[in-house]
Structure 1
Amino acid sequence: MESFASSLLSLAYQLFSPGLCPGDWVWATSAAGVLVALFPVLGAVIAAIVRKGTGNRYNTATVSVFGGLGVLFVLVLPWLAFTGISSVYRAVFNGNRGGLTSAEAERMRVEYCFIGQQSDYLGGGRNVFETLFYYSGDALAYGYYLGALVGLPALSLLFVMLQARAAFRRGPAWPGRFFWLSFVAFVVFSVGVEANTAVHLWLGYLPAAVLGLVPVSLVGPPSWAAIKRSQQEPERPPPPPEKPPPYVPPRQEEPPPPPPRQYPPTSVAPAPEPPPEPAPALAAAPGPVPLPPGSSAAGGSRYRRVRRLGHGGFGTVWEAVDNQLGRTVALKIAHAPDRDTEERMAREARALAALNHPNCVRVYDLVEEPDGLALVMEYLEGQALATVVDTVGPLDDIAAGRLWATMASALAAAHARGVLHRDVKPSNVILDPGGLAHLIDFGIARSKGDSTMTATGMMIGTPDYVAPEAATGAPASPASDAWQLAATVSYALSGAPPRGTRETPMAALMAAARAEPPSRLPRQSVHARLLAASLDPQPRNRPTLDAVRKEVEGWLARVGKSPDGPVTRVVPRVR
């Protein structure tokens, strides 16, 4: 330990020993503190590099690596350096060289300004424990040591924690405890260091800890692709084939018993009753449900249309009443659909009917109406997110975080069912009277136009919220839905689409196809960094919806908010 410390001291003396007051070896001690502070920085850099490949995979191996880095580079090596340097100075004070050269040891006996001999100042006083816990009677000196020996380590702890947080970005924060808990242990174990030596070591350690944030940040977090790979469960090996059971020869069946003897009917033995007739088979489909009071079928249709909610290039949406069940539904009728449209509507209607998510609009049925194929959906009372932002104003970070986490969960559930939305935008997010968000219009309404679909917020084909790859004609993907959701959240925070507005839909579509960078992001929002990553022009670089949901929910938990709360309070419309 002494040889390690003497080598470190000699290096620091060669690097910085100006020979000014309070002394060349005092300055060299602060330079040694700078060198010691590089150990935690090196450990954080190695941890950040390891996470480039492992992402957020925390198994026994990776946890052992991160724990070892924290203990070795933040606790063991700095503690050996601090205690070893103090031992060298005590040895020189006692007349030995302490591992230094004769010339270096002789220079320590030179007197400087107010400290006297450097060997006495650095190696002949009380240690940290004695200085802090045994009051010397000098209040000014005690305040000086208290501020230096407690305040400087406390500030250094703050920046060691920031280094660890930078090394474990885009992931859980708990692995950073390996670093800052090791630092706390290092401070506690260093109470035997000579007090003056510790003061000057900490004076060098603190600025190096501050600057150490730069190399850790330059390494950068792992890519979202690496995080996605780490979150995927490893494939389990197929189970070994089961051994066939041993051959058992078939048992000889006994001959069936003879049939009972039949007797003619007499007064003693009555005639057997005829076998009961088989029950009629159940109908393949249930019959009509009795109409509830006050309802009546109109024109032979099960659904009585109340009012038209909107009209677009794809079709018309009506508020209707189910005459059999007596409930209000939304009826979307396609205009003269071709065979491809019918097949697509049927496929997605089946998938969405099986989707059970509280924030996704429910699909009840797909029926033939006199004027076209109709999709029967849940009728949502409330206002569109676009209407709320236009009338009330942008959302704050907490409301936008709840919106993002909720909609990401809804889209991920749809993707798990093989359903892509393809048209996520502020007009397709409905906020009910309780302030909860619901996602509507799952990929069915895909139009060439840009007209408003319904008064409650359905809109078709707005190029302002089209992902760059979709604008160039590439097939839609979950990453496209993730881009559109991020654009919707950006609008909710800033009141404008991320690429800004254009004079015509064609100009907006051309801007999307050119992958113009977002110019209207909410820069002051805490979500700005995640929004920029989610709006990356390359789909492979965007975080997945699950990664976005976990990060946003983690931030909400850190600020003491639940992700399940209302996005905003909406007053129901008066009809």
Structure 2
Amino acid sequence: MESIASALLSFAYQLFQPGFWPGDWAWATSMAGALIGLFPVGTAVAVALMRKFTGNRYHGGALAALAVLGVIGMLLIPWFLAAGVSSVFRANFRGDSAGLSGAEVAALKQDYGAGPQVEYLGGGRNIYETLFYPSGNAFSYGLYLVGLVGLPVLILLAVMLLGRLALRRGPKWPGRILWGSFVVFLLVCAGVEANVAVHLWLGFLPATVLGVIPVALVGPPSWSTIERSDRRPERAPAREEEPQQQPVHVHPREPEAAPPPPPPPPPAKQYAPTSVAPAQEPPTELAATPGPMPVPAPPGSAQQGSSRFRRVRRLGHGGFGTVWEAVDTQLGRTVALKIAHAPDPETEERMQREARALAALSHPNCVRVYDLVKEPDGLALVMEYLEGQPLAEIVDNGGPLDDVAAGRLWATVASALSAAHSKGVLHRDIKPSNIIVDPQGVAHLIDFGIARSRGDSKLTATGMMVGTPDYVAPETAAGAPASPASDAWQLAATVSYALTGQPPRGTRETPMAALMAAARAEAPTHLPRQSVHARLLAASLDPQPRNRPTLNVVYREVEGWLSRAGTSPDGPVTKLVPRQQ
């Protein structure tokens, strides 16, 4: 131990040896403390690098590696070196060079105003004796309190900060392994010479504070890595072993027992009035291979010009069609009827794609598709009619939402979008006007009019931009293909609008100016600064898609906050009064 510590001291003496009070060897000890402080910094860097691959997986080998790094880098090596440095100075005080050269021993005996350095560093009392058995005046004892208690507390705070940085985007409890080991190191250093310890801490503190820089440069693990680590491994279904047939002895005098009655069927799952029960059959085949298009009636027939849907009022008018509130005269239910503007092949293919996209989904917060029919004035998509108001109208009339309501909105729509992405469907036009809040306060995602399934060709009208400029993701505005990350960006922009009443990049004079701002990836300027969701919103609105949290991660983060706040994501976003017909 003394040989390694003497080599460390000699190296520190060559690096830093100012010749002023209390002596060159005293300041060389501070340099040795800075070198020792590099080990906790290196431990934090190693943990940050490890999490690049393991994410938040804290079990098995990953947890063992974290514990080994914490104990070795935060406790054993620093204590080994600090105790060794103190032992070298004590040995020189007793007349043993302890591995130092003759010139270094001679320099150690020089006096810079605090007595010979060999006595100043090796002939005093240790930390425990100095703190609990004080001798001398109160002023010197106060200085020792600052050097032996105050400095270690500051160093401990810096080490805790290193642990927090290394464990970003994950639970904080593993940090106890790191700073807990360092606390043990400070306690076991009670036998180190008091003056040596003060100079070690003087070098240790700036080393750990500056160590924040490399740990921050390593950065947190990607959101995709975190999502993979949070995903529970799927268990393979247990093989059911066929029971071996045993010979059965039947006694003719004993009547056979009647077979037990079959168990009653499970009760049907009850859904809330605004929820949509999932289809009994998986909709994947329907989405991939839609049924044959209905053939329009021949001219002059009795069916020509007739319709089973009686239109009540127009709900909206968009670039591809008009949406009507209508009544299905055959089934007697209110539906939303979306009719294409022009019955050209491209528009019909677009309507078929929207029908496939919606038919593939089964989520209570996604609008439900019923049918794809031929109307007298064009191809029509028959959808669930949602009574309520668009989010844009709610915020414009009632003001921004609070953190709880915005959290419920974010979690609800993130769950719906995640379900769409699992079916290979991208929405590509998420904005406040495409989220309907029903009278019970439940949010629903509508208008998959520009939704596209994986493998579909890009179908856009000439000169038409896909998406809304104020809520389009930067990469999409720049011409890159849409992705789940771009849907996540648009949802975060919509949530930011719900909290502030403005798009995250603010409003522009013209749509082209808004599109140019999106293509340049201008930083958001109208984020909710005081919201608890500000940090997650800033991450979700990152210009680089790979840096954004996935929708599953967003759902877990928001759901966790809502749970800690004593509520759940199932509550209403806001209460509405139904419109008067």
Q: CA deviation at 1:80?
A: 0.7
Equivalent residue number for residue 149 of structure 2:
150
Tell me the SS of whatever aligns to 2:425.
Answer: coil
Equivalent residue number for residue 546 of structure 1:
552
Equivalent residue number for residue 93 of structure 2:
93
- Distance in 2, Cα, partners of 1:303 & 1:98: 99
* Compared CA separation, residues 23 and 510, structure 1 to 2 (3 A): closer
* Compared CA separation, residues 63 and 573, structure 1 to 2 (3 A): same
The residue type paired with residue 373 of structure 1 is: A
- Distance in 2, Cα, partners of 1:213 & 1:556: 31
- Distance in 2, Cα, partners of 1:519 & 1:75: 43
Q: Which has the larger radius of gyration?
A: 1
Equivalent residue number for residue 17 of structure 2:
17
Tell me the SS of whatever aligns to 1:162.
Answer: helix
Aligned residue runs from structure 1 range 360-379, under 5 A: 360-363=365-368, 365-366=370-371, 368=373, 373-379=380-386
* Compared CA separation, residues 340 and 472, structure 1 to 2 (3 A): farther
The residue type paired with residue 10 of structure 1 is: S
Structure 1 residues 382-436: Cα deviation after superposition (integer angstroms, max 9, x where no partner): 4x33234434555566655554343222211222233322211122223456655
2:363 aligns with one of 356, 365, 369: 356
The residue type paired with residue 167 of structure 2 is: F
Equivalent residue number for residue 81 of structure 2:
81
- Distance in 2, Cα, partners of 1:88 & 1:527: 54
Aligned residue runs from structure 1 range 426-505, under 5 A: 426-432=432-438, 436-443=442-449, 461-471=467-477, 475-505=481-511
- Distance in 2, Cα, partners of 1:77 & 1:482: 45
The residue type paired with residue 572 of structure 1 is: V
- Distance in 1, Cα, partners of 2:508 & 2:206: 49
State whether residues 306 and 376 of structure 2, in contact with CA within 8 Å, keep that contact through their aligned partners in structure 1.
Answer: no
Equivalent residue number for residue 33 of structure 2:
33
Structure 1 residues 166-211: Cα deviation after superposition (integer angstroms, max 9, x where no partner): 2233334343333212211211222222222222211221121111
- Distance in 1, Cα, partners of 2:572 & 2:109: 71
Matched, 1:211 2:210: yes
* Compared CA separation, residues 523 and 92, structure 1 to 2 (3 A): farther
Tell me the SS of whatever aligns to 2:436.
Answer: strand
- Distance in 1, Cα, partners of 2:490 & 2:428: 8
Q: CA deviation at 1:342?
A: 4.5
- Distance in 2, Cα, partners of 1:220 & 1:14: 34
Equivalent residue number for residue 221 of structure 1:
220
Structure 1 residues 420-459: Cα deviation after superposition (integer angstroms, max 9, x where no partner): 22211122223456655432323468986999xxxxxxxx
* Compared CA separation, residues 329 and 536, structure 1 to 2 (3 A): same
Q: CA deviation at 1:40?
A: 1.0
Q: CA deviation at 1:48?
A: 2.6
Q: CA deviation at 1:504?
A: 3.4
* Compared CA separation, residues 20 and 434, structure 1 to 2 (3 A): farther
State whether residues 500 and 519 of structure 1, in contact with CA within 8 Å, keep that contact through their aligned partners in structure 2.
Answer: no
The residue type paired with residue 379 of structure 1 is: L
- Distance in 2, Cα, partners of 1:328 & 1:314: 22
Matched, 1:572 2:581: no
State whether residues 70 and 178 of structure 2, in contact with CA within 8 Å, keep that contact through their aligned partners in structure 1.
Answer: yes
* Compared CA separation, residues 189 and 412, structure 1 to 2 (3 A): same
Structure 1 residues 97-151: Cα deviation after superposition (integer angstroms, max 9, x where no partner): 23323333343333343x4333333333332233334455855444443343233
- Distance in 2, Cα, partners of 1:107 & 1:398: 68
* Compared CA separation, residues 343 and 43, structure 1 to 2 (3 A): same
Equivalent residue number for residue 161 of structure 1:
160
Aligned residue runs from structure 1 range 491-570, under 5 A: 491-509=497-515, 511-512=517-518, 515-522=519-526, 525=529, 530-531=536-537, 533-536=539-542, 539-540=545-546, 542-553=548-559, 560=565, 564=569, 569-570=574-575
* Compared CA separation, residues 539 and 202, structure 1 to 2 (3 A): closer
State whether residues 420 and 443 of structure 1, in contact with CA within 8 Å, keep that contact through their aligned partners in structure 2.
Answer: no
- Distance in 2, Cα, partners of 1:321 & 1:139: 91
Tell me the SS of whatever aligns to 1:111.
Answer: coil
Tell me the SS of whatever aligns to 1:116.
Answer: coil
Gaps of 5+ in 2: 244-304, 453-459
Report the TM-score when normalising by structure 2.
Answer: 0.73
Equivalent residue number for residue 343 of structure 1:
352
The residue type paired with residue 518 of structure 1 is: E
Equivalent residue number for residue 117 of structure 2:
118
Q: CA deviation at 1:45?
A: 1.9
Structure 1 residues 453-492: Cα deviation after superposition (integer angstroms, max 9, x where no partner): xxxxxxx952322335544666543223122223323434
2:317 aligns with one of 289, 307, 311: 311
Q: CA deviation at 1:302?
A: 7.5
* Compared CA separation, residues 378 and 89, structure 1 to 2 (3 A): farther
- Distance in 1, Cα, partners of 2:354 & 2:61: 49
- Distance in 1, Cα, partners of 2:337 & 2:207: 66
Tell me the SS of whatever aligns to 2:119.
Answer: helix
* Compared CA separation, residues 183 and 396, structure 1 to 2 (3 A): farther
* Compared CA separation, residues 367 and 14, structure 1 to 2 (3 A): closer
Equivalent residue number for residue 129 of structure 2:
130
State whether residues 227 and 553 of structure 2, in contact with CA within 8 Å, keep that contact through their aligned partners in structure 1.
Answer: yes
- Distance in 2, Cα, partners of 1:524 & 1:25: 54
Equivalent residue number for residue 418 of structure 1:
424
Tell me the SS of whatever aligns to 2:99.
Answer: coil
% identical aligned pairs:
62
Structure 1 residues 26-53: Cα deviation after superposition (integer angstroms, max 9, x where no partner): 2222222111111111122233333344
- Distance in 1, Cα, partners of 2:142 & 2:169: 41
- Distance in 1, Cα, partners of 2:555 & 2:242: 47
Equivalent residue number for residue 6 of structure 1:
6
* Compared CA separation, residues 23 and 403, structure 1 to 2 (3 A): farther
Equivalent residue number for residue 63 of structure 1:
63
* Compared CA separation, residues 319 and 222, structure 1 to 2 (3 A): same
- Distance in 2, Cα, partners of 1:433 & 1:235: 39
Q: Please, what is the CA RMSD of the aligned residues?
A: 4.2
- Distance in 2, Cα, partners of 1:191 & 1:321: 84
The residue type paired with residue 41 of structure 2 is: V
* Compared CA separation, residues 561 and 120, structure 1 to 2 (3 A): farther
State whether residues 122 and 197 of structure 1, in contact with CA within 8 Å, keep that contact through their aligned partners in structure 2.
Answer: yes
The residue type paired with residue 347 of structure 1 is: R
* Compared CA separation, residues 239 and 395, structure 1 to 2 (3 A): closer
Structure 1 residues 221-274: Cα deviation after superposition (integer angstroms, max 9, x where no partner): 33445556656778999999x9999xxxxxxxxxxxxxxxxxxxxxxxxxxxxx
- Distance in 2, Cα, partners of 1:233 & 1:443: 34
- Distance in 2, Cα, partners of 1:549 & 1:43: 32
The residue type paired with residue 349 of structure 1 is: L
The residue type paired with residue 88 of structure 1 is: V
- Distance in 2, Cα, partners of 1:393 & 1:36: 56
State whether residues 420 and 426 of structure 2, in contact with CA within 8 Å, keep that contact through their aligned partners in structure 1.
Answer: yes
- Distance in 2, Cα, partners of 1:37 & 1:131: 23
* Compared CA separation, residues 349 and 103, structure 1 to 2 (3 A): closer
Q: CA deviation at 1:505?
A: 3.2
* Compared CA separation, residues 468 and 524, structure 1 to 2 (3 A): closer
State whether residues 464 and 499 of structure 1, in contact with CA within 8 Å, keep that contact through their aligned partners in structure 2.
Answer: yes
State whether residues 16 and 28 of structure 1, in contact with CA within 8 Å, keep that contact through their aligned partners in structure 2.
Answer: yes
